Amino acid sequence: MIILRNPAAAKNIANPDIRSIVEQRYSEICAGEAYDYDLHGYMIVVEPGDSVAALEKKCSCPILHNYFDDACFGDPEFSPSFEALEDHANCYEMVFILNDDGFGISIFIPKTESININLLAMCAQYATPELTQY
């Protein structure tokens, strides 16, 4: 997984479509201000072979289970914890806002082989169409 703790780290993303979305998000989040990790948060790009457990540990957010009980994706009681999940042509974009100041984590999940099948299935079920074309 690629952890992006500043806008310059976007250069480490091999997929040009995902890199473009990440760069656009940093631009929107900063809104002309200098990037501040403590204020603006960070981004993650999931890579083939990454486990959901490792992703959840890295972001400290539940992805395939509920915050307050053991309901997992596929269980009728499951309720996703993200703020937004957007469906792009080549990836899903999952957003968690962690405080009232707007500190957040954006997770980009490529629609490729070797990405966890349950993660992709959950994204396909709950994602909304992208709002902006890139």
Give residue for tokens 């992805």.
63
Q: Please state whether beta strands 42-45 and 104-110 pair in parallel, antiparallel, or not at all (unpaired).
A: parallel
Write out the DSSP string of 90-120.
Answer: SEEEEEEE-STT--EEEEEEE-STTS-HHHH
| Distance, CA of 58 to CA of 55 (rounded, Å) | 5
Grade residue 134 by pLDDT with cuts at 50, 70 and 90: very low
- Residues 67-111 have pLDDT tens digits of 888 899 999 999 999 999 999 999 999 999 988 777 899 999 999
Cut 0.85: pTM above it:
yes
b or e along 65-75 (b: 16 or more beta carbons within 10 Å of the residue's beta carbon)?
A: bbeeeebebee
Q: Are 134 and 24 in contact (CB under 8 A)?
A: yes
**CA-CA distance, 38 to 112, in Å (whole number)?**
31
Q: Tell me the two tokens of residue 109.
A: 């999940």
